[in-house]
Every structure is written in C-alpha cells, then in structure tokens.
C-alpha cells in the first residue's frame, strides 16, 4: 500500500519546481507523487512531467474559488489528507481531458519510430507520413535541451496524420490550440493543423502566410462559401526563431470568438469573413503540415503542440508561456 499522506507540493513551491526538484513516479498510472532535491541531471521524461505539473499549476491558479472548492471538497472527503490543489494535481494527471480539458499533447520527444506520441493520455497518436523513415518530418533538437526534440518537415510532401475521428467536432465546440513554431524558409499559406480539405467543403484550418506575417484561423461551413476567416499579424519576419502561439475559439460560430496570442500576449485579430453557417464536420483525418486534400505543405518546425476542449484565458496563456522561460537560460524562448 503506497503512502499517500501529503502535502505533496504547493502552489507557492511551484516557482522552484523546474529548477530545484526532481519527481519520482509510482506505478499507479505514472502519477507523480513525490519529489526530492536533485543529485543528478534530470531526464527528459522527468522534465516533461514537471512541465505537465506546471501546466496544471497554472490552471489551478486561474480557477475561481468555486472551481477550487470542488477539489477541496473531494480532498476533504478522501483519506489522503492533502490540499485541494494537491488533489487536483493527483487526479488531473490520471485524466487530463476531464480535469485539464487537454485533448492532445505532442512534446515531439521521440528519438525514433513513425509515431508522434500523444502525451495527454488521450491516445491520439500521430503517424509520420507519407513514408517513415525516408520521407517524413525529421526530428531535430528543440529550442532548449529540456524540451527534447521538435518536428521538422520538408515543406514539400511531409506531414503527420492523426487517427480517424480525432477532432471531429462541430463549430459549437470551444477549442484552444497552443504551439511553438520555429520558422525557416516557408511557403505562402502553408497549413499547420487541419481537419478537412481546403478546396471542397467543411474544414478547420490553422495556417501561416509568411510573406504577410499572418497566422490565420479558418472554419469553413456548408455551403463552403460560409466561413470564419480571421488572422493576426504575428511578425513571422523573425525567421529562424522559435515563438509560442495560441489560438482560442469560444464555439460561438463567430469571428468574435477567436483570439490569438504570441509569446504570452494577446494579438489583435483581423476579420476577413464572418458568415459561418451549417456544419464544419467532415470525414478527413486531422493533419499537421497539410490539408485533407494534401495541399499547402508547411515547413515550419513545431514543438509543444497542445489542443484543449476549452478556452484558455489570457492569464493562463501567459502562465503557460512563462513555464517555458523559468530561469535565466530561458530569458529568450527564441532560441537556436
């Protein structure tokens, strides 16, 4: 019987977590239950676990008192003798979708193999395409050693396919997309993430237009002349540097429901079309780096890609960004 008494960790301790502490895992669902001071360099898996706990801590910090009370009551009703925060950290690691709204998380840290692992526990693993290992996105060193590898496609025909049914949502579904992009020599209107075919029908597309420095969010409905098309100028001119972006969508079917941020700060969106009608659901598999009809191949390097089934607040986005730059070494995310 594992010892379950707390406290395990605290909100106030979090500022030191990534620098000073090492976690140990117990067998129960790989849940992190203990930490101790380091006596050796941490492993990549330990860092990833810290990062996940950092994300959960940021989420806790933006919860309302009412939302926190749910976990405080659950903690009190348990025999664990831990705080509501610690109870949240415990249960959220075992079910990231229910407690954190995390649909998928790609840390891109595999060193080999055709699989892009979904670190959320949701099982939505990607597959490197069109043919591993000779013809597909390659793995490169990411923006910092602690963030392991990143994906680097050729911009010609490389992409990542996700399982059938993944992200098969209607326009009423709130969503948030979080990702780090490292841009090299890009293409105009290149696809970053898509669910659908750009030419034929209902579609969700995130793409960048490097010449114009735009990140664009596009939902096409039925008929396909109806759409939300909204873009933000995010200064892609800083080629070869990594940046952290988010796109949030409220599920209201309107451009007013879309917000962008770059490196933790909100960025103004400019509306091109605001006439979405019908459905955005379609039979194409979700993809990185191209559309369902395989056009608009992108060559941007990608890491720390997450999708949420809720709208991240500005505060939470800033806190998530700050996780990437906790110490002096990370005063520049923007790396290489």
Nearer to Ca ion, 147 or 308 (CB): 147
Determine the straight-line distance between the first and last CA of the chain, rounded to whole angstroms: 47
Residue 147 engages Ca ion in binding (rule: CB under 5 A): yes
CA–centroid distance for 147 within its chain? 13
Q: Which stretch binds Ca ion (CB under 5 A): 54-62, 128-136, 221-229, 314-322?
A: 128-136
Select the span of 104-112, 117-125, 186-194, 308-316 touching Ca ion (CB under 5 A). Answer: 104-112
- Does residue 152 belong to the site contacting Ca ion (CB under 5 A)? no
By the rule CB under 5 A, 128 interacts with Ca ion:
no
Nearest in space to 175 (alpha carbons), one of 163, 183, 167: 167
Identified binder of Ca ion from the candidate list 117, 127, 157, 309, rule CB under 5 A:
157
Per CB under 5 A, does 92 bind Ca ion? no
How far apart are CB 241 and Ca ion at their closest, in Å?
Answer: 16
Closest by CA to 55, choosing from 119, 134, 3, 135, is 119
- The one among 49, 93, 107, 189 contacting Ca ion by CB under 5 A: 107
316 near Ca ion, judged by CB under 5 A = no
Which are the contacts of 72, defined by CB distance < 8 A and separation ≥ 6?
A: 83, 84, 87
State which residue, 259 or 291, has the beta carbon closest to Ca ion.
291
Contact status: 135 vs Ca ion (CB under 5 A): yes
Of 46, 49, 109, 194, the one binding Ca ion (CB under 5 A) is 109
Q: Which residues inside 30-89 make contact with Ca ion, applying CB under 5 A?
A: none
Q: Which two tokens stand for residue 212?
A: 């114009």
CA 83 to chain centre: 28
Total of residues contacting Ca ion (CB under 5 A): 11
Residue whose tokens read 């949502």: 169
- Which of these segments, 26-34, 108-116, 189-197, 305-313, binds Ca ion (CB under 5 A)? 108-116
148 binds Ca ion (CB under 5 A): yes
Strands 149-152 vs 286-288: parallel, antiparallel or unpaired: unpaired
Task: Name which of residues 242 to 301 contact Ca ion (CB under 5 A).
Answer: none
Min. distance of Cβ 301 from Ca ion in angstroms?
A: 10
182 scored as a contact of Ca ion (CB under 5 A): no
CB nearest Ca ion: which residue?
148
Among 108, 190, 276, 333, binds Ca ion (CB under 5 A): 108
Candidates 118, 129, 303, 316; binder of Ca ion (CB under 5 A) is 303
Binding-site ranges for Ca ion (CB under 5 A):
107-109, 135, 142, 147-148, 154, 157-158, 303
């Amino acid at each position: 019987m594992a010892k379950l008494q707390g406290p395990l960790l605290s909100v106030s301790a979090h500022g030191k977590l990534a620098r000073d502490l090492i976690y140990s895992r117990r067998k129960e669902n790989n849940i992190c239950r203990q930490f101790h001071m380091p006596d050796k360099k941490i492993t990549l898996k330990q860092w990833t676990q810290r990062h996940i706990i950092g994300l959960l801590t940021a989420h806790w910090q933006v919860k309302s008192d009412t939302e926190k009370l749910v976990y405080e009551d659950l903690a009190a009703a348990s025999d664990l003798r831990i705080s509501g925060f610690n109870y949240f950290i415990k249960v959220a690691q075992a079910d990231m979708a229910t407690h954190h709204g995390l649909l998928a998380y790609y840390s891109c840290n595999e060193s080999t193999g055709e699989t892009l692992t979904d670190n959320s526990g949701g099982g939505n693993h990607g597959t490197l395409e069109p043919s591993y290992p000779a013809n597909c996105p390659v793995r490169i060193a990411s923006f910092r050693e602690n963030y392991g590898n990143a994906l680097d496609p050729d911009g010609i025909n490389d992409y990542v396919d996700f399982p059938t049914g993944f992200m098969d949502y209607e326009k009423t579904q709130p969503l948030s997309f979080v990702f780090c992009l490292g841009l090299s020599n890009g293409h105009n209107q290149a696809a970053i993430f898509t669910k659908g075919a750009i030419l034929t029908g209902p579609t969700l597309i995130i793409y960048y237009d490097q010449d114009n420095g735009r990140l664009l969010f596009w939902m096409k409905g039925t008929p396909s002349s109806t759409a939300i098309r909204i873009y933000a100028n995010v200064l892609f001119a800083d080629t070869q540097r990594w940046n952290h972006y988010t796109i949030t969508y409220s599920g209201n079917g309107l451009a007013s429901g879309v917000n962008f941020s770059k490196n933790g700060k909100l960025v103004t969106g400019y509306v091109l079309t605001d006439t979405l009608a019908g459905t955005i659901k379609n039979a194409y598999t979700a993809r990185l780096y191209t559309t369902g009809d395989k056009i608009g191949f992108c060559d941007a390097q990608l890491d720390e890609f997450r999708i949420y089934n809720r709208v991240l607040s500005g505060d939470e986005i800033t806190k998530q960004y700050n996780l990437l730059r906790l110490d002096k070494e990370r005063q520049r995310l923007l790396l290489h």
